[in-house]
Amino acid sequence: MTLWNGSYPFYPGPNACFPFDTSRAVIVTIFLSMLVMFIVILPGIRGRARLFWFLRLVFGLFVGAVVLTVQFTRDWETGWVQANTSYKSFSPVQVNADVGLHIGLAGVNVTLRGNPVKQINETINYNEHFPWNFGADYDRSYSEGLEKGLPSPILYVAEKFSTQSPCAVHRQYRIASHYASLILWLAFCTWLISILLFSMSILLCGGCMLLLTATLILLSLLFFFIVRNTPKCPIQFGPVSLRTDYGESFWLTLATGLLCLLLGLAIIILNSVQPEKLKLIFSLEKSSEEEVWTKSCLPAEPSCSAQDTLMVPLGELCQVTATQL
């Protein structure tokens, strides 16, 4: 019987798969809280302006949440393969597992999940992150993984993206991710400016800023698209190979950029062709219901008799005689 139930505290334990991304959870919680807060005041808006206001609110929060969230997601490029592979170095024991590769703007995630999870008296469920963002050292993270004794499939996949690898893809992915992240931060700033311009009823400038936001989002995708199509070394596990494709974050960012592009163009075209309808969408003109309500609240005009009474000259007033008592 030893201290700490048979395990020594100065030896690191296995790094199990974390259930969710905390950065994404915080961002989604903040934007959902803002949405609920604005929905609470929604009944105070009359007529068709309520629907247009709600649509503008949902669109604005959606774009901001997507542009901010994809900075921290790890599924811009993903791939899975099921293979029989060695579990530890210098060991002939093999396990059947799913090996996953997830590439984001901040680094690489390598997942190893056993089929079943319990094999060779161990729980095979790993998710290791190797960062390459600003201030991070990918090779150092890889060296720490070697020191911890991570499973061989994880080290094999992570080694493909190191600076010492003959694949030579580390520099391309790192630079492309940095530029894409920087451009997305600029898109987030232009989105904030467009929201401010729309709230100040400067519709044409707001549409131009929304168009600029779409351009920046699509430009960030172009950087990632270029590096994605560079030749890469095959990641082979026996007879099968690990192949990757665009992930959910890439397609979600593309959909958001196209949506901003279409709405920005629509606002600019409507402003030059039919500005009245554009002002109606942004609740800048009074509707017929509001005009009727305004007229009903005006004070009644004075009658003609009252005007005549007030217009009688002082000299034409009836002369009153006083009777002496």
Domain spans in the chain, listed from the N-terminal domain onward:
74-283
Locate 130 and state its tokens: 């190797």
Model confidence pLDDT, tens digit, residues 169-194: 888 899 999 999 999 999 999 999 99
Low-confidence ranges of the chain (pLDDT < 50): 1-20, 287-312, 314, 316-318, 320-323, 325
pLDDT for 17: 46
The DSSP annotation for 191-242 comes to HHHHHHHHHTT-HHHHHHHHHHHHHHHHHHHHHHHHHHTS----EEETTEEE
Q: Phi and psi of 93, rounded to 5°?
A: -70, 130
Please report the pLDDT score of residue 66 as a whole number: 94
pLDDT at position 5 is 43
Tell me, what's the pLDDT at 280? 79
Closest CA to 250 of 128, 69, 113: 69
CA torsion, ordered 8, 14, 18, 19, to nearest 10 deg: -90
What is residue 191's predicted lDDT score, i.e. its pLDDT? 94
pLDDT for the residue 296 = 45
Cβ 158 vs Cβ 137: under 8 Å: no
**Residues sharing a CB contact under 8 Å with residue 31, sequence separation 6 or more, in sequence order:** 61, 64, 65
Of 236, 110, 89, the residue nearest 161 (C-alpha)? 110
Domain 74-283 class in CATH: mainly alpha
pLDDT of amino acid 120: 84
Q: What's the confidence (pLDDT) of residue 90?
A: 78
- pLDDT number for residue 284: 67
**pTM of the predicted structure, to 2 decimals:** 0.77
- The whole-angstrom separation of Cα 232 and Cα 234 is 6
